[in-house]
Structure formats: C-alpha cells, structure tokens
C-alpha cells in the first residue's frame, strides 16, 4: 500500500510540470499559416503527459517542430547508457538513424553515450539524421510533420489529416551488461492553426555553431524529476525493487 501511495504522489507531482520553450525576439513569421501539433504517448503506456516509468527508468518527452526532447533518470541499481548506434525513429513506418546532443552539429555520425549512475539523470534531444543539415550559411532543421501551409490549400488539408499519425522511438539501453530495448510510440493528438503572434520559437541547446542570434533563457524540458527528488523522490526509489529490466 505504501509503495502504491508513494508512486501515485510521484506521478501526480510529475504531471503538468513541463515548462515552455525559450523565445527569441529576432523572429520573422514564415509564409502562410502556422500550425501546432499536440502528441500523446500510446505505448508502452497511454499518457498525455508523455511520461513513462518502470522499476528502472523515469523518462518524459517533449516535442517541438523538428525533434523530440527528453529527460531520463536511472532508478535501477546498475549504470545505464543509451546505445545510440542502435537507436532510431520511425515516422509513418520510415526508419531513421538519429542525431542527439553529442553529434547534433557534427559532420561525423559517431556519437557518445553518457554513463548514468543510479539516480543520475540527463537531458537530450533526438532528431532524424537526414532532417538536419548545414546549407553553407546555417544549420537547417526539417519539421517532423509540416507546420506551415505556405498558402497552399492542398498542403493545408494534408496538415489537418496528420491527426492520428504515428511516430516511434527506439532507445536501446544498457544496464551494466544487460541490454533492453525501450520502444515508445507517439500519436498526433491534435493539429491546431495558430496566429504567428502566438507562436513561440524555441532556442536549441546546444545552439548551432553558425547561429547569429543570441537568445536569453533556456530550453526547458520538464524539471519534474528533480523537483520530485526534492519533495520525496528518494522515498519512492527506496520503496520499489530496483533491478535491470529483463526481456
């Protein structure tokens, strides 16, 4: 009973603690109308806060136009590392290798993995490798799904039909010498047309090397795990059996 109660408190504290992206004052609206997508986690659990936890990890995601950001905490007894060479994203069945923080703006496809000790956490970002490139002047990121209609009625209708479309994310994780494949499936829950004045551009962290815009503030994925840690996360960790996942 105590374990279930503590777990309920943890989940209740996590919900709704996502913070908004940092904005920039040097922003020029694009052509046509702007659209905002809302996503829902469908697997391995259904969760509108894009939150998942088991006895080994707590992870929460946040989408922007081009990428998925996340915060991951290791609550197992083993060291944890993401095997980025095997990680992938699939959009409507098409699979992509990924870039993340360590090689986001690199010509190399090699990527480094952070070794997380028990109770350690990290923040990272994943973007399809083919969706980010340098055009010679700046780094360009392609949307996961179109977010502007360029004044095209055909494209406008196509954007509206993206409700229900799927994005999958595979994050193979090593717990000591044990490997476990975490698969997450997300669904477009809604697509809403917004005014350009209500659009809040985000600041990518790390910033592109060639960026000419200096922006204040920070790119925030949820601080929930840290907050809950202060309020009683340790009690939760001590109350559950911590062990690497098994197939």
Here the tokens at position 234 are 């340790």
> What is the full DSSP assignment across 114-136?
--BPTT-EEEEEEEEGGGEEE-S
Separation CA 115–CA 102 (nearest Å): 13
Contact between 212 and 46 (Cβ < 8 Å)? no
Query: How far, in Å, CA of 60 to CA of 141, rounded?
Result: 22
- DSSP class of residue 156 equals H
Q: Which two tokens stand for residue 3?
A: 């374990």
CA pair distance 66, 91, nearest whole angstrom: 12
Domain range annotation of the chain:
2-239
- Residue 109's DSSP bridge partners are none
Structure tokens that stand for 36 in this block: 């905002």
Cα distance between residue 201 and residue 195, in whole Å: 13
DSSP run (H or E) holding 234: helix 234-239
Query: 189 is written with which tokens?
Result: 């829950």
First-last CA distance in the chain: 27
pLDDT at 28: 62
Cα 209 versus chain centre, distance? 22
Give phi and psi for 140, each to the nearest 5: -115, 135
Provide the token pair at 78: 């083993």
CA 234 to chain centroid, in Å, comes to 25
**Total residues found in the chain within this entry:** 247
Q: Is residue 216 classed exposed, middle or buried when 0-12, 13-18 and 19+ CB atoms within 10 A define those classes?
A: exposed
Mean pLDDT by 10 residues, the chain (247 residues): 39 41 49 95 98 98 97 98 96 94 80 92 95 90 95 95 97 96 98 92 79 44 47 48 57
């Amino acid at each position: 009973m105590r374990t279930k109660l503590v777990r309920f408190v943890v989940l209740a504290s996590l919900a709704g603690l996502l913070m908004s992206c940092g904005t920039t004052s040097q922003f020029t609206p694009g052509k046509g109308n702007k659209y905002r997508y809302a996503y829902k986690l469908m697997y391995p659990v259904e969760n509108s806060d894009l939150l998942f936890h088991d006895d080994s990890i707590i992870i929460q995601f946040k989408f922007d136009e081009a990428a998925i950001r996340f915060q991951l905490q290791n609550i197992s007894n083993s060291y944890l590392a993401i095997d980025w060479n095997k990680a992938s994203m699939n959009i409507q069945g098409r699979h992509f290798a990924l870039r993340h923080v360590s090689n986001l703006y690199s010509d190399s496809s090699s990527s480094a993995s952070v070794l997380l000790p028990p109770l350690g956490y990290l923040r990272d970002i994943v973007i399809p490798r083919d969706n980010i490139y340098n055009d010679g002047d700046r780094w360009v990121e392609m949307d996961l799904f179109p977010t502007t209609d360029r004044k095209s009625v055909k494209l406008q209708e196509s954007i509206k039909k993206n409700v229900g479309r799927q994005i999958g994310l595979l994050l193979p994780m090593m717990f000591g010498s044990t490997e476990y494949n975490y698969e997450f499936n997300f669904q477009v829950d809604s697509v809403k047309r917004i005014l350009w004045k209500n659009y809040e551009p985000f600041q990518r962290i790390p910033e592109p090397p060639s960026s000419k815009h200096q922006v204040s503030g920070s790119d925030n994925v949820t601080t929930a795990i840290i907050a809950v840690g202060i309020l009683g996360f340790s009690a939760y960790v001590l109350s559950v059996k911590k062990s690497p996942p098994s197939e």
